[in-house]
Chain A
Amino acid sequence: MNRISIIRAQAIFMSPAVLAATLLILPPLLYVFYTSVYGPALSLAAYGQVLTSKLFRQTLTTTLVVAGLSSLLSLLLGFVVALHLARQPARRRAFLTVLVLLPFWTSVLVKCFAFTVILGREGIINSMLSWIFGIKIQLPLVLNMVGLLVGMTNFLIPLVVLPVLASLLAIDSAIYRAAAIMGAKPARIFWTVTLPMSLPGLLAGLLSIFVMSLGAFIVPSLLGGPQDQMLSSLVAFYNREVLDWQKASAISVVLLGMVFIFAAPLALWRRRKLKA
């Protein structure tokens, strides 16, 4: 295929997605921008008020910490799961993939209430520990950062497993054999073949879960502690409770800006990596 026909093919395949995004996502997004600067008069006042407020800064810090930690945890755990899945014969893998997807299909609300039962002071884990050691154990596992991270990780793992599994399966098994024949030990094969070659999937997974966790709303409010408030609940507060849409939009725009700030370098790096 020459260059022009490649571009042509790209245009044809991408135009439905681009069109849908332009028609359905762009107008409301532009309206959010518009609302954030246009209140009684055209001004950036809402941004000033939002950025200087203590509430916003604290919430922003929590959001970044929670999104970062839960993404890393999910990435590590999800990678291990994907590695295991990639080694299974196809039928078994299909079955196990369904097991990974099962919690993904369950309502996040239901999962959060279930986690209260599992992680609570009188929950399954604490009563098991109490029974084993014969003393009353009440580890604080929920309504704090631990509960929040457990809930977030549970929610995010399937989103890591699927892209990573796709890149792992795309690796030609002849490369593994070649590496083994050349005398590489399993650890060496992992570091020089598996990891670099599954990097596209890993980065895609990381990007999507980090972006998703920046906007988390239900899990922090049901499983997190009093201090673990994230930006989305601040947006909900201004949007729904006090109907101050200008500030709600300003926070949303800042949140969206953050997504770009984190996503752009990752996307660029990934592109360079793919070219190399």
Chain B
Amino acid sequence: MKTPRSTVSRRFLLAGAVGVLAAPMVLKPSRSAAKSDLVTLALQAYGGSYQATLEKQVLKPFAQETGIKVNLVPVPDLSKVKAQLLTGNVEWDLYEGEGAQAAFGSKQGFWEKLDPSLFDVNDMSVAPRGDSVSWEMYAGGIAWDPEKYGAGKHPANFAEFFDLKKFPGRRVLRKAPSDVMELALLADGVAPKDIYPLDLDRAFKALDRLKPSVASWVEATAQTISLLQTGEVDFSYTYPNRVKANNEPGGGKPLAFSFEQNLLFTADLAVLKGAPNKEGAMKLIGYCQRPEVQSRFQNEAGLIPVSKKAVPMLSAEVRKWQPDPSKPSHLVSNSSYWADHYEAVSRRFNEWILG
């Protein structure tokens, strides 16, 4: 019988055809990013209009000035950075993300050393570190529906947020220990300057009191607003730029936000080790630190510039939505503490939520 034989050859042919078709997918992608007039910026994406504003106010003018085009890739986290370094196939030049993530990446050895001559250190409210640099700050705090809760009827600082007798109601907190732990200790009466290293037992004890009133430990930032909007919760921990965006025409029912006490976080820039266009990436970092660039960008994006000179250049409308960083009740989150402790605290925190 010849039939089985012909089957084999046909199958073999088919396999060969599929193999040829699949080859380009398996082969290493060409390093088109290695061109010196292109920088690939991986941006930790939060959604919203941030990305468009960044392109308009920072990346386009940068391209006009230097001739270097910036390719923006929104990413959720560091895992792809790890994958790129692991496989030796580095496609990105620059990473922009939360301070804690950048510090965590630094601990893992993801970043190139930065040239200190890129910055005017005296102008920066957060000093650059060896391999990453903060360029903007954002705040976290308490929001509520002013129609439901007028003056004096809502918590305005973290101690009041934890005061269930005076302000009963359902609350929203982030499912992120780096937002929650500091908040709990501040609420429990620890002074901002004494927060680090965190007294975790004390923080969890304070959280035990609040836990029955926390309706959701939110992972998606949008929910910190939408759950307030729908009346599902009474008081939410969220970010002023989100509330501002919500209150603008075409948004939802206006919400209120307290600047009496806030947590401040930095957003950092770092260059990937073995970046195809290291030089261009360094240039962009230097450009991003310029006071006029920061003020131009933040007048539209609404976050707090790290450049001290940029702060007075912001419009009154924008500053209305920013905390005064010099207020002693605020706390700046310590990125390097979290780089060292994130995993252990996070596991304990997740277990505590389920327990």
Contacts and interface: CB of A to CB of B under 8 A. Distances in A.
Nearest to A240: B77
Interface string A4-26: 11001001100110011001100
A19 B18 contact: yes
Interface string A105-124: 00000000100110011110
Interface string B161-193: 000000000000000000000000000000000
A121 B354 contact: no
A122 B79 contact: no
Most chain A CB neighbours (cut-off 10 Å) among B4, B26, B211, B230: B230
Contacts of A23: 18-19, 22, 26
Interface in B1-38: 1, 3-4, 7, 10-11, 14-15, 18-19, 22, 26
Interface string A85-117: 000000000000000000000000000010011
13 contacts: A4-B4, A8-B3, A24-B22, A53-B351, A55-B354, A58-B355, A116-B226, A120-B230, A229-B353, A240-B76, A241-B77, A242-B346, A243-B79
Given A8-B7, A12-B10, A19 B231 contact: no
What's the interface size class on B, roughly? 35 or more
Interface residues of A, number: 41
Contacts of A24: 22
Nearest to A9: B7
B3 A237 contact: no
Interface in A22-69: 23-24, 53-55, 58-59
Interface in A242-259: 242-245
A221 interface: yes
Interface in A145-175: none
Contacts, number: 102
B50 interface: no
Contacts of B347: 53, 55
A143 B231 contact: no
Given A12-B7, A19-B14, A120 B342 contact: no
Given A113-B226, A143-B215, A243 B15 contact: no
Given A23-B22, A142-B232, A222 B343 contact: no
A19 B15 CA distance: 7
A239 B79 contact: yes
